[in-house]
Amino acid sequence: MEVRVQNIRKEFGRFPALNDVSLDIRSGELIALLGPSGSGKTTLLRLIAGLESPTEGTVFFGDEDASRKTVQQRNIGFVFQHYALFRHMTVLDNVSFGLTIRPADRRPSNAEIRRRAGELLDLVQLSGLEKRYPAQLSGGQRQRVALARAMAVEPNVLLLDEPFGALDAQVRKELRRWLREIHDRTGHTTVFVTHDQDEALELADRVVVMSKGKIEQIGTPDEIYDTPNSPFVFGFIGQSNMLPVRIENGQLLMGDQPVGVSAPGEADGAAHLYFRPHDIELLDGEGSISGTVVVTRRVAGTRHVELDIGATGTKVEIELPPEKFTSDRARIAFRPTRWKLFRT
């Protein structure tokens, strides 16, 4: 089901947690809400769920205004960071819970509930553990039970709050891939919150980058990485360098040196130049950024080189294929090939 969030504002006391946030989630989409802590991503998720109510604004499920419905009526699936499993119930009872509590006229038969729960446990690869209690499971297994439990009610939308946050790195990676598989198989509209950009970029169809209660950018992982539309997104996603520059006649200057980048049509004035360490080419001599090598590190298939450029002491980091860098080079000149200007 598609979910639309319209002009949502949320204040806790007088602290604004979300400010005029709008978001369209397409049916069947896997969307990540990405941002640092305090960016409002969890609040947005809880507003969609109905665990919080907005100070202003509306949430639509399909064409229906969901803002007037309680969390119970919205029929959503919510997965909590710390699992929130019912510890006195077996795995099977946990998964069946949402169905068994339905009023008699909407409740499937016991056999049907059992069959459906069994199917879901199959899907999350936990068959055989039906009789176990949460305390007897590993963290990864618990989170899979939590997901199965949320899916059992055939939710309009599946909401996951930092679903892998409490797990160790190895299990995280496994579950990430596995969640994508499950999503592709079941096709639930899914929104998950994360502060881990790798997780968001690897898993989501679209990523919503949030900061300070606002949406900074919405886009596919490629769009977010390749064309960040704000200094925040540029800085938050991946590695980046920032240089203060001046524009004169469509040419970018640092101090009095041209940096080898032209921006035809840009008005004159000060700006910040952003580029990623690997989006550069090496040059010889003038018309470029040049600096002395401070330190270099070999990271997997690339060499990271830290350069000291100019008297300001500004440092930039670039990445080179190892064969392009020889240890006797004390000075390097380069030019960004992909970059973005933000006016100051």
Residue 284 CA to residue 277 CA, distance in Å, equals 18
Among residues 75 and 230, whose Cβ is nearest to another protein?
75
> Binding of another protein at residue 54 (CB under 8 A)?
yes
Please give the residues from 58 up to 87 whose contact with another protein meets the rule CB under 8 A.
Answer: 67-72, 75-78, 80-82, 84-87
Residue from 26, 102, 297, 343 binding another protein (CB under 8 A): 102
Among 21, 59, 150, 254, binds another protein (CB under 8 A): 150
Per rule CB under 8 A, is residue 166 in the interface with another protein? no
Binding range to another protein, per CB under 8 A, among 54-62, 185-193, 232-240, 330-338:
54-62
Phi (first) and psi of residue 218, to 5 degrees: -125, 130
Q: Which two tokens stand for residue 49?
A: 């769920």
**Residue carrying the six token digits 């198989």:** 185
By beta-carbon proximity to another protein, the closer residue of 106 and 331 is: 106
Q: Which residues pair with 157 in a beta bridge?
A: none
DSSP-derived 3-state class of residue 210: strand
Between 7 and 337, name the residue whose CB sits nearer to another protein.
Answer: 7
- Taking the least distance from each CB to another protein, the nearer of 11 and 279 is 11
Taking CB under 8 A as the criterion, the residue among 149, 172, 303, 340 binding another protein is: 149
Select from 95-103, 113-121, 177-185, 230-238 the region that touches another protein (CB under 8 A). Answer: 95-103
Q: What is the DSSP string of 131-192?
A: T--GGGS-HHHHHHHHHHHHHHT--SSEEEESTTTTS-HHHHHHHHHHHHHHHHHH---EEE
138 touches another protein by CB under 8 A: no
Nearest CA among 76, 100, 75 for reference residue 90: 100
Residue 312 DSSP one-character state: T
Which DSSP string do the residues of 39-105 spell out, in sequence order? Answer: SSHHHHHHHHHTSS--SEEEEEETTEEGGGS-HHHH--EEE-TT----TTS-HHHHHHHHHHTS-GG
For residue 53, the minimal CB distance to another protein (Å) is 4
Nearer to another protein by Cβ, of 162 and 216: the residue is 162
Segment 11 to 30, residues that bind another protein, using CB under 8 A:
11-14
How many residues in the shown chain lie near another protein by CB under 8 A? 44
* 6 lies in the site for another protein, by CB under 8 A: no
CA distance 227 to 279: 12
Q: Let me know if 342 is exposed, middle or buried by CB neighbors in 10 A (0-12, 13-18, 19+).
A: middle
- Residue 164 binding another protein, by CB under 8 A: no
Q: Tell me the residue length of the chain.
A: 344
Residue 22 or 292 having the CB closest to another protein: 22
Residues that bind another protein (CB under 8 A): 11-14, 49-56, 67-72, 75-78, 80-82, 84-89, 97-98, 101-102, 133-136, 146, 149-150, 152-153
